[in-house]
Amino acid sequence: MAKELLKGNYAVVKGAILAGCRNYFGYPITPASEIAEAAAYYMPLVGGTFIQAESEVAAINMLYGAVSGGIRSMTASSSPGISLKQEGISYAAGAELPIVVVDIVRGGPGLGNIAPEQSDYNQIVKGGGHGNYKNIVLAPNSAQEMCDLTMLAFDLAFKYRNPAFILSDGFIGQMMEPVEFPEPRTDFPREDWALYGDAESKKNLISSIYLDPDELEEHNRKLQRKYQEIEENEVRYEEYHLDDAKFVLMGYGIVSRMLRSAVDTLRKEGLKVGMLRPLTLFPFPKKQIKELADRGAAFFVSEMSNGQMVDDVRLATELKVPVYFYGRMGGNVPTTEALIEQIKIYYQKS
Amino acid sequence: MAKLAFTKSKAFYDQYFRNPNPDKKSTHYCPGCGHGNVHKFIAEALEDFEVVDRSIIISPVGCSVFAYYYFDTGNIQAAHGRAAAVATGIKRTHPHSIVISYQGDGDLAAIGTAELIHAANRGENITIIFINNAIYGMTGGQMAPTTLIGQRTTTTPRGRDVHNEGFPIRVCEMLNSLEAPVYLERVSLHDTKHRAKARMAVRKAIKNQIDGKGFSLVEVLSPCPSGWKMDPVDSIKWIEQEMTKVFPLGVFRDKSKEVESFHFEKPQLPADQITDALGLSQLKVQHFEQSKPEEKYRNPGIKAAGFGGQGILLLGVALAQAGMLEGYQVSWIPSYGPEMRGGTANCHVHISEQPIGSPLVAFPDVLIAMNRPSLERFQNDVKEGGLIIYDSSLIDIEPSRQDVEIMPIPATRMADELGNTRIANMVVLGAYIGYTNALNKETVLATLDTIISRKRLIDINRQAIEKGYEFGYEMKQKASGK
């Protein structure tokens, strides 16, 4: 199939529509606005709905209502907007609604700036809203993956009846690359939990209330079993030169591309480095990290944040091996050259 | 044979099985509460209009949080204040469904004000039933946005004081300033006659939705003896004597006869129409021969920079597009972070035989500078042995680098001679490929159909590329001593 050169933010919308998404509710925010703009253009052309909501809060609740109808639907925003949506995301997790949310992360805290950061890891991967819940979180590193992982997000969300996130950044969203699109999906089964406005489905209740403590605990236990199942089945990652690596580079999204280049350069210099890139941040490739740690490999994590994913890497290594960190913030992107310099320092130590 | 004088509506469950209370026949509402009346009006209307099966009721947060115990319809329980947004979502998803958002005064007129106003303003074809009892019942009698002046609640222990809490909000009057709502009426439950009116209002608000008329809201002044700490008899007196003074009853808006019916269509398109709509079927699989540049011009990282309006970003897109057509890996990214300041537009392009790591070009192989600040700023980043191309008709200095190739080109003057200053970008693009052969000219020309949206401009852009190409080719010949 032919390729199209386009921005990651546009690839999200085309991928979503190909995956059967027919509703978009969103509020403008830089650097995610192109997603809303593309949805506004394309949704009506495919029999879908686009609403520019009055607020982030309204958008996530429109999404809650729409997904209650069993139809693939989405919203997108950037960090401060996601903070506002957290209430609705918690409700969707509690009501087990398969919403899909895209976060094009920008600099924070507060108004911060509109440049790319990866500082939403904690608020997306660790929850962010109230309650004992987890989102499925996918981290693309190219325009192609913005399409592919958006499509996967819908499949996983509906498979597990769970909110799924695309955690990306202003960089991947704004970057143009060739994207190859698959055929559209059209046949979707009726969801037995959803409301279709008919006699067959009216028995269904979409709710997150469990007044009785024992019932709520059981509901929570059921959610935890689901998360465990997701951890067992849905871990996705990319390995690069890990076979003989004694020093493992880890990063997700845009940073992983610099790390890959760093591996190429450092390998030429004879350093035994490799890269483990998580495509899923929840579920996290804990087992793979542990195996590498058991082999004695040290870790080097780079993020465009104060170090958020690095905590999960440390936990997964069970603190058996050194885990080094190099981060940039404020919209600064680590260059391949800077990474190589840092890696060399720590490589000597380990 | 005895005949039942009153039967329960079929829109109610026979047994309230979701209620954890052992008594599955009674509601959870307090004696003298108005919710029961209004639930009954809704249920009867749904049954009479034969829409029970396709109805979906949104339960709010407040005393009616458990409305789903009772209605044998589809049910969604919403977050506090968000019922109108949730109603919007499900109604737009299944336009044939009958969606009723049932909300109290705190839910609708305090925490959910934005969702209410904007659902009304979009003219969502939904029905909102708004129970105004001037108090927060569920949480134990705190002030509501509709609490009367001087009314004592647990959070206005000395009575609502306008200096501290402001005035009661009149929802119908407020919404009546909007264009879209079709039907707005305030009714009361304080006596039989008014209850009959309330019943008719609820029916009308539901019928309007069935007929596709648009947004309808019925505000119901409703007793809350528990919250008010009154007995039921005093409660209805208080509505009549106090509440109706602040909240006058009546129809504020009724355009239901004037407006045309409207229903959203949600057609399910076959796969080929979806592909068409996304512009994917138009993408041609074209085969372009890959260029064969000298070793030093292969896999270039290119930075193009200039003033906003010089078409810098488009120049970059053309390079990336042509690279893609020739089967290279490509990336394009506009200026970011600190580089964005200063009114310059930059972009970074990679054209590579290998997968591209960072899409940034911190140290370019090729710098295209279209104004003096760009040349000054970026020339020192260019890799040794790299190439600087600059617009010599706009830049009055020469690059200071001695260890790179340099091609000055009077691109803006050449563009002017062709009749359009704005195609200087394409002159430079042509010159770059003429000089380096990094891409084939035919491929670059083929990108114009995709990247130039105004088709009448394609020809002049083509001329610009040709002109630039000749210039660059001759410069290369000279540089090679040919």
Peptide bond just before B364 cis, omega within 30 deg: no
Would the pLDDT of B423 be above 70? yes
Which regions in chain A score pLDDT beneath 70?
1
Q: Identify any residues that bridge with B104 across adjacent strands, giving them in sequence order.
A: B131
Q: Quick check: A2 and B284 CB within 8 A?
A: yes
Mutate to test the interface with A, among B61, B76, B275, B354 (most CBs of A within 10 A): B76
Q: Which position has the higher pLDDT, B312 or B481? A: B312
Would the pLDDT of B280 be above 90? yes
For residues A61 and A189, state if they share a domain. yes
In this structure, are residues A307 and A250 in contact, taking their beta carbons and an 8 Å threshold? no
Total structural domains in chain A?
2
- C-beta pairs of B152-156 under 8 Å, 24+ apart in sequence: B153/B227
pLDDT at position B286 is: 79
At a CB cut-off of 8 Å and minimum separation 6, what does A190 contact?
A70, A196
Lowest average pLDDT, out of A229-243, B269-283, B463-477, goes to B269-283
Angle at B414 between CA B312 and CA B365, to 5 degrees: 45
Would the pLDDT of B4 be above 70? no
For residues A75 and A224, state if they share a domain. yes
How many residues can be counted in chain A? 350
Q: How far apart are CA B107 and CA A122, in angstroms?
A: 31
Would the pLDDT of B284 be above 90? no
Domain boundary among A211, A233, A255: A233
For residues A223 and A141, state if they share a domain. yes
Q: Name the closest residue on chain A to residue B101, using Cα atoms.
A: A65
User: At B482, is the pLDDT very low, low, confident or very high (cuts 50, 70, 90)?
Assistant: confident
Q: How far apart are CA B283 and CA A252, in angstroms?
A: 31
For residues A324 and A279, state if they share a domain. yes
Q: How far apart are CA A19 and CA A21, in angstroms?
A: 6
Domain that holds residue A153: 3-233
At a CB cut-off of 8 Å and minimum separation 6, what does A291 contact?
none
User: At B287, is the pLDDT very low, low, confident or very high (cuts 50, 70, 90)?
Assistant: confident
The first and second tokens of residue A97, run together, are 């609604």
In this structure, are residues B396 and B376 in contact, taking their beta carbons and an 8 Å threshold? no
B98 CB neighbours in chain A (<8 A) are: 197
Helices assigned H by DSSP within chain A: 8-18, 33-42, 56-68, 79-94, 121-125, 143-160, 170-174, 213-233, 254-268, 286-294, 309-317, 336-349
DSSP state of B242: I
Helices B458-479, B411-418: inter-axial angle, 10-degree rounding:
140
Q: What is the CATH number of the domain that holds A181?
A: 3.40.50.970
Domain boundary among A177, A205, A233: A233
Query: Is the CA virtual torsion B241, B245, B247, B251 positive or negative?
Result: positive
Would the pLDDT of B6 be above 90? no
Q: Name the closest residue on chain B to residue A180, using Cα atoms.
A: B280
User: At B339, is the pLDDT very low, low, confident or very high (cuts 50, 70, 90)?
Assistant: low
The first and second tokens of residue B174, run together, are 């407020």
Q: How far apart are CA B4 and CA B160, in angstroms?
A: 47
In this structure, are residues B153 and B142 in contact, taking their beta carbons and an 8 Å threshold? yes
Peptide bond just before A116 cis, omega within 30 deg: no
Q: Quick check: B89 and A68 CB within 8 A?
A: yes
Shortest CA distance to A153 belongs to which of A224, A236, A91? A236
For residues A249 and A132, state if they share a domain. no
* One-letter identity of residue A267: R
Q: Calculate Rg over the CA atoms of chain A.
A: 20
For residues A216 and A337, state if they share a domain. no
Shortest CA distance to B391 belongs to which of B362, B339, B426, B346? B426
Q: How far apart are CA B12 and CA A196, in angstroms?
A: 19
DSSP state of A104: E
Domain boundary among A216, A233, A250: A233
How many residues can be counted in chain B? 482
Q: Which helix (H) or strand (E) holds B331?
A: strand B329-334
Q: Quick check: B271 and A64 CB within 8 A?
A: no
Q: How far apart are CA A302 and CA A300, in angstroms?
A: 7
DSSP state of A106: B
For residues A94 and A195, state if they share a domain. yes
Q: Name the closest residue on chain B to residue A16, using Cα atoms.
A: B278
For residues A213 and A142, state if they share a domain. yes
For residues A210 and A280, state if they share a domain. no
Tell me the domains of chain B and their CATH numbers: 35-254 (3.40.50.970), 295-479 (3.40.920.10)
Q: Quick check: B280 and A3 CB within 8 A?
A: no
Q: How far apart are CA B467 and CA A315, in angstroms?
A: 61
Q: How far apart are CA A202 and CA A194, in angstroms?
A: 9
Q: Quick check: B79 and A87 CB within 8 A?
A: yes
Would the pLDDT of B336 be above 60? no
A170 CB neighbours in chain B (<8 A) are: 336
Q: How far apart are CA A260 and CA B196, in angstroms?
A: 73
* One-letter identity of residue A80: P
Distance from CA of A49 to the nearest CA of B (A): 7
Percentage of residues in chain B having pLDDT higher than 90: 92
Strand order in the sheet with B98-104: A205-206, B74-77, B55-59, B98-104, B127-132, B216-221, B183-188, B250-254
Q: What is the CATH number of the domain that holds A282?
A: 3.40.50.920
User: At B5, is the pLDDT very low, low, confident or very high (cuts 50, 70, 90)?
Assistant: low
Mean pLDDT of the region B376-386: 96
For residues A97 and A144, state if they share a domain. yes
Q: How far apart are CA B364 and CA B386, in angstroms?
A: 7
Would the pLDDT of B401 be above 70? yes
The first and second tokens of residue A337, run together, are 């050259």
A175 CB neighbours in chain B (<8 A) are: 331-333, 359
ipTM over 0.95: yes
Q: Calculate Rg over the CA atoms of chain B.
A: 35
Q: How far apart are CA B181 and CA B126, in angstroms?
A: 10
pLDDT tens column, B27-84: 999 999 999 999 999 999 999 999 999 999 999 999 999 999 999 999 999 999 999 9
B267 CB neighbours in chain A (<8 A) are: 47
Distance from CA of B304 to the nearest CA of A (A): 15
For residues A192 and A256, state if they share a domain. no
Q: Quick check: A257 and B78 CB within 8 A?
A: no
In this structure, are residues B103 and B96 in contact, taking their beta carbons and an 8 Å threshold? no
Q: Which position has the higher pLDDT, B427 or A349? A: B427
Q: How far apart are CA B113 and CA B118, in angstroms?
A: 9
For residues A159 and A251, state if they share a domain. no
